[in-house]
Structure formats: C-alpha cells, structure tokens
C-alpha cells in the first residue's frame, strides 16, 4: 500500500493498494453494494486500468466534486468509479470499472484514515496477493480486451436529439468541403538512423532530435510546410504593393472567417460557398483596427486604436449572402465623451464575447470593462493598463484573466441572470503580458510575457469562501527551443487548439513555427515535469525579395474533424494548415515500426 498527496489537496491522505488472485470478491462486492460502513473503500477492477495516473486523476476529480458539493453519486468512493468512466451513466461506470463476476484483481482506494488501521482492515478483509503499486504491475494485470470495450456512447433521448446529432455529424464531415484540404503533406519523420539528406530533413533532424532524446515522444504525423492555399483580398492597391492583413477571427460555430485589412476594411470569407461576401465592412476614417472577435450569435465586434468600439450584426445564411444583404452597425460607448477626449476609455487592445453572447469583455490602455448588450451599459472591472483577455468556456461560472503591464488579474465570475457577479481578483506578479489562453479544462491558464522564451502555466481553482479571490498553483513552464545561440529562442506568439492537444508558437527571428504535444491530464499530478513535448517544425512561406516573411497572427478554428486547423497570417497571405491527430492504433503501429 502506498500513500499519496495531490498538489491541489495536500491535506488529504490517499491510500492505494493493488491485489491479484482475490478469492473472496463476491463477499466484498456484497458488502460494498449493501453499504457496509466498515467497507468505506473504493474497489476498482484492476484489469480495466492501464496507469496509476488514471486512478489519481479520478481521485482528484472526486475530491474536487466532494469539496464543491457537486457529487454525481452517493459518496466519494462511488464517485471515483464514476470519474473513471467516459460515459455519464453511473450504472455503466460500476459495470465497467467495479467488481464483477469475472474480476480477480483489485485496486483499493481509501481517502484519509490511520495507516495502521487501514492495513489491518485490508489484511483481515482481502483474501489475495498484494503487489507493489507501480505501472509495471498494473500493466501486467491489464486486460486489453476490457479496456478497448470502454468506449464513449451517447444516449439520445428524443427524435430532436437524434436529428441534432445527425446534423452535427454531417456538419463536421463537410466542415470545409469546397477547399478539399488534404490532411497530410510533405511528411518527414525523424528516425534513430538518419538516412535522408534533404535540407528540410536535415534541419528537422539535427536541431531538435537532441531535444527529443531527453523527452520521449512518439512522433506524430505533421505537415512541415503550409498548404499552397492563399486567401487574398479581391482589391489591390494601384501600385501593386502587398495588401497586409492585420487580424483574423473565426466564427465560433460556422465555417466563416473575418480578415481585417491594415487600412480598415474587413472582408468576410465563407467556406460554405468558397467566396468572399459581396460587401465588406468599413471602418471610421483615420483609425486602425487593433482587434476583432466573432460570437456564436453572428455578431462581430471591432476595436480601434482611438477607443472606438463597433458592433456589427450579420445575416450569415447562404441565401442572404447571395442576395447582398448588408450588415448592421452600432457604436458601443464605454465611457461618455468629455471635453478633452471623445473616447476617454483609451485604445482598445483586446476583445472577447461571453459564452452566452450577452456580454463583451474589453481591455484598453486605461482598464478593463464588460459591456452588457441587453442593458446597453458598461461596467469597469479593472483600472490597470490591460493588454490581453482570456475567458473560460463555462456559461454559469467562468474565470476571466486580464494581462496587464506587471501582473495577471484573474476573476471568478458567476452569471446571476440579471448580470455578472465578480469575485475579488487574484494577482499573479509578472512582466508585461503578451498572450493569455485558457485550456479546455477551464482551469489551466497558458500565458506569455513580452520577450520571454517560455510559455508559463498556472492551474486555477475557485475560492473556498464566498467573495474571496481564486487560488492558483504553478505548473512547470514550456521552454522554447535552442538554435545557434546557447539560450532558448524568444517566443513572439503562441496558440493552443480547442482540445488543448497542440501548442504552436512562433519565434521573433525565425520564419517557421514549433509544434508541441500537450498532456493536459498531467496538470493534476505533476509539480516538476513539463506537460508538453516537441513534435516538429512548421515552415512558413518562402522568402520574398525583401527578405523573410514574418508571421503576423495565427488562430485555430473552433472545430475541425479529426484534428485541428490553424490559420496563419504571413503579410498578404492567410495559409491554412490542417493537423491530423493520430489515434492510439496509429501511434502504436508507428512506434513498433520506428522505435
């Protein structure tokens, strides 16, 4: 038996034991089902487990649910079994991971208690052979047939659910039908024996293979050059100078992307029709676009350097586009104009819609605001000079992070119906923030500071008391790659795909990107190891006559079947890079063949 303490819950002592050839399983199962108070344990069929981390992750989730009064089952022991299951059915979780007639090995979990008393109870109760608790022994017991049978099933309760599921499935399959994007182009793998001599293979091999030696990573299939697919504006300047695209924003639900021209026009490209809209959105004179954001409700908000904020409401049905239906514009006022300034709120630096689409969060050079579209009024949240903003995906309860010149301010936010209720902020001291992104678990925050060669990470939890700030825990940073210099290369920008499986960042002095595999589940267990490992380089467009083509911006599509789709801006081009995420079978086959 071993004792564990989770980093987020250091006060809880977790006892875990591994047994095989257990002879009295029927007796144990009966006592567990009849809720015998002397059997205050979680009994897991060890043949359905492949790693100790799998059990620790389920325990972590169960303790969190218990402390936040969110248990889905009767007690914390049954919650552990429920947390192991990918389905939402409690009975199914007990059947797949609990004691059955075919069970002959057990993983036993006890949360809190006296060590000597627990040992005596197990010796008295369990008629079997205790093994040392480690991944090697667990894998020796694992039944691959049972594990493969644990799949995710969806229960459709009505004809509307079935219809909706069919439409969702259809839309994912034909998400970008007109572009006919191949999933893999110019694939190069690094093997132990380098038998290739091309320039790109040599670069790929020599510069990162030494880094791979220290962190084992099964090489994924990844394109090394963006596809030869360019989106250009239909209008060009008379002197044939490149039309620079300054910002991009994906629609949150349908395959549409907005591209802002450096002179102020906004062009909208519809992948459903493979064409631009017949109209473009204009900006006020003598201003520059600093940011833009789409909502699920077909609204596009645009921020400007003089403090103006415009909200466009668009009709995005295919028929309306063909009929040249125009968009409708409204100016949003954060602070009333004064004698000294028409827009005293300061230059707009970043924008984000809430999940409901009712609120817009705005950061400016003079603070941070939230604008309520129903009441048409703004509420000031922060008085610091803010550069970036990031929101989690939850509707009822979410975290909001603002990046300032010397800290990160993190608020816990509750949607009370009439409006939003904010907690006092959690302050994370740092230098000037360049980018903030929440991971898909809505708890892990990735951030980058100006000029840094690291991507820093923190794990945020709600406060235990009302009207108190959230709490955080640091996760080891992701360090940039080294090139000619001995120090890591400074990072200029980074993005994280919606499922938090791929991290891509760009360099200040390089015309290519680096891709990392992210292991988000490891956030719950690690306090010293990195949760990401490198995959390879993504090469940008070739050099032009004036020198390197620099990356301006990049953004992942909200969804893409079978992987992720990354849009990158290179001066006058937007290139689209599809990434295919290999399944377990593909990874295993590749590992057997090449390692």
Do the strands 512-518 and 532-539 form a parallel or antiparallel pair, or are they unpaired?
A: antiparallel
Structure tokens of 447?
Answer: 């951030």
Is the Cβ–Cβ distance between 60 and 23 less than 8 Å?
A: no
pLDDT of residue 181 exceeding 60: no
pLDDT of residue 26: 79
pLDDT of residue 308 exceeding 80: yes
More confident residue, 170 or 68: 68
pLDDT of residue 231 exceeding 70: no
Going from the C-alpha of 340 to that of each of 30, 144, 332, 336, 396, the distances in angstroms are: 78, 72, 19, 11, 39
pLDDT of residue 287 exceeding 50: yes
More confident residue, 439 or 49: 439
pLDDT of residue 222 exceeding 80: no
Please state the domain extents for the chain.
2-149, 159-236+501-517+532-553+565-595, 245-349
More confident residue, 88 or 454: 454
Structure tokens of 7?
Answer: 């980093």
Fold of 2-149: PF0523-like (3.30.2380)
pLDDT of residue 149: 55
Give the highest mean pLDDT range of 207-216, 422-431, 561-570. Answer: 422-431
pLDDT in tens, 452-502: 999 999 999 988 776 789 999 999 898 887 665 567 888 999 999 999 989
Rg (CA), the chain: 27
Instruction: Give the torsion sign (CA, 202, 535, 497, 301).
Output: negative
Stretch among 174-183, 273-282, 305-314 having the lowest mean pLDDT: 174-183
For the segment 298-325, the average pLDDT, to the nearest whole number, is 79
Secondary structure of 56-125 in HEC code, one letter for each residue? HHHHHHHHHHHHCCCCCCCCHHHHHHHHHCCCCCHHHHHHHHCCCCCCCEEEEEEECCCHHHHHHHHHHH
Stretch among 168-182, 187-201, 297-311 having the lowest mean pLDDT: 168-182
Is the Cβ–Cβ distance between 399 and 411 less than 8 Å?
A: yes
Instruction: Tell how far CA 363 is from the center of its chain.
Output: 22
Instruction: Give the torsion sign (CA, 359, 363, 369, 371).
Output: negative
For the segment 225-234, the average pLDDT, to the nearest whole number, is 32
Instruction: Tell how far CA 449 is from the center of its chain.
Output: 19
Which element (helix H / strand E) includes 584?
helix 584-594
Q: Give the span between the Cα atoms of 371 and 311, in whole angstroms.
A: 11
pLDDT of residue 528: 76
Look over the chain and give the mean of its residue pLDDT values, rounded to a whole number. Answer: 75
End-to-end CA distance of the chain: 34
Q: Give the span between the Cα atoms of 205 and 209, in whole angstroms.
A: 5
Q: Give the span between the Cα atoms of 28 and 362, in whole angstroms.
A: 57
pLDDT of residue 232: 32
pLDDT of residue 159: 39
More confident residue, 86 or 120: 120
pLDDT of residue 120: 87
- Sequence-ordered alpha helix ranges (H) in 226-363: 318-322
pLDDT in tens, 243-267: 577 889 999 888 888 988 877 888 8
pLDDT of residue 409 exceeding 90: yes
Percent of the chain with pLDDT over 70: 73
pLDDT of residue 128: 86
More confident residue, 204 or 471: 471
Stretch among 386-395, 501-510, 541-550 having the lowest mean pLDDT: 541-550
Give the highest mean pLDDT range of 135-144, 219-228, 320-329, 501-510. Answer: 501-510
Q: Give the span between the Cα atoms of 316 and 358, in whole angstroms.
A: 19
pLDDT of residue 592: 56
For the segment 418-445, the average pLDDT, to the nearest whole number, is 91
For the segment 580-591, the average pLDDT, to the nearest whole number, is 61
pLDDT of residue 160: 38
Q: What residues form DSSP beta bridges with 404?
A: 386
Stretch among 43-47, 62-66, 220-224, 400-404 having the lowest mean pLDDT: 220-224
For the segment 536-550, the average pLDDT, to the nearest whole number, is 63
Is the Cβ–Cβ distance between 205 and 190 less than 8 Å?
A: yes
pLDDT in tens, 23-40: 888 788 777 666 666 778
Q: Give the span between the Cα atoms of 323 and 434, in whole angstroms.
A: 41
Q: Give the span between the Cα atoms of 239 and 228, in whole angstroms.
A: 25
């Amino acid at each position: 038996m071993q004792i564990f303490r989770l980093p987020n819950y250091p006060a809880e002592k977790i006892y875990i034991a591994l047994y095989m050839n257990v002879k009295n399983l029927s007796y144990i199962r009966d006592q567990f089902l009849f809720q015998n108070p002397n059997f205050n344990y979680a009994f897991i069929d060890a043949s359905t487990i492949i790693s100790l981390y799998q059990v620790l992750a389920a325990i972590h989730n169960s303790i969190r649910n218990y402390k936040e009064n969110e248990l889905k089952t009767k007690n914390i022991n049954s919650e552990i079994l429920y947390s192991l299951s990918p389905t939402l059915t409690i009975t199914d979780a007990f059947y797949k991971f609990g004691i059955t007639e075919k069970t002959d090995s057990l993983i036993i979990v006890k949360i809190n208690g006296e060590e000597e008393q627990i040992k005596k109870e197990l010796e008295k109760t369990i008629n079997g052979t205790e093994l040392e608790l480690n991944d090697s022994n667990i894998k020796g017991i694992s039944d691959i047939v049972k594990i493969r049978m644990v799949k995710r099933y969806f229960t459709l309760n009505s004809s509307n659910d079935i219809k909706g599921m069919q439409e969702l499935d259809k839309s994912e399959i034909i998400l970008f039908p007109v572009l006919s994007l191949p999933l893999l182009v110019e694939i190069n793998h690094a093997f132990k024996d380098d038998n290739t001599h091309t320039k790109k293979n040599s670069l790929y091999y020599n510069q990162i293979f030494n880094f791979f030696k220290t962190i084992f990573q099964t090489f994924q299939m990844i394109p090394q050059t963006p596809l030869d697919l360019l989106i250009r504006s239909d209008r060009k300047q008379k002197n044939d100078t490149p039309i620079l695209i300054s910002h991009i924003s994906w629609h949150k639900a349908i395959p549409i992307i907005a591209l802002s021209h450096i002179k102020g026009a906004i062009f909208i490209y519809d992948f459903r029709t493979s064409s631009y809209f017949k109209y473009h959105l204009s900006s006020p004179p003598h201003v520059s676009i600093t940011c833009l954001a789409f909502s699920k409700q077909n609204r596009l908000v645009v921020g400007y350097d003089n403090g103006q904020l415009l909200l466009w409401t668009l009709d995005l049905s295919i028929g309306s586009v063909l009929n040249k239906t125009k968009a409708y514009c409204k100016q949003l006022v954060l602070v009333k104009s004064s004698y000294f300034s028409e827009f005293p709120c300061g230059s707009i630096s970043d924008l984000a819609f809430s999940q409901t689409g009712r609120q817009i969060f705005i950061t400016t050079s003079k603070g941070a605001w939230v604008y309520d579209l129903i009441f048409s009024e703004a509420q000031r949240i922060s008085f610091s000079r803010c550069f970036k903003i990031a929101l989690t995906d939850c509707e009822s309860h979410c975290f909001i992070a603002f990046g300032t010149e010397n800290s990160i301010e993190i608020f816990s936010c509750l949607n009370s119906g009439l409006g939003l209720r904010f907690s006092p902020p959690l302050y994370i001291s740092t230098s000037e923030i360049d980018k903030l992104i929440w991971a898909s678990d809505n708890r892990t925050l990735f951030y980058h500071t100006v000029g840094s060669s690291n991507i820093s990470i923190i794990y945020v939890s709600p406060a235990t008391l009302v009207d108190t700030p959230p709490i955080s825990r640091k996760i080891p940073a992701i360090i940039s790659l080294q090139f000619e210099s001995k120090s890591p290369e400074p990072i200029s920008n980074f993005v994280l795909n919606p499922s938090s499986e791929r991290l891509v960042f760009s360099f200040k002095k390089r015309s290519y990107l680096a891709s990392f595999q992210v292991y988000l589940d490891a956030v719950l267990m690690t306090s010293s190891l990195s949760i990401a490992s490198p995959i390879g380089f993504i090469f940008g467009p070739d050099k032009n006559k004036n020198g390197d083509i620099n990356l301006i911006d990049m953004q992942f599509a909200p969804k893409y079947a079978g992987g992720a789709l990354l849009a990158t801006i290179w001066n006058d081009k937007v290139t689209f890079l599809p990434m295919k995420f290999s399944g377990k079978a593909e990874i295993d086959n590749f590992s057997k063949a090449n390692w």
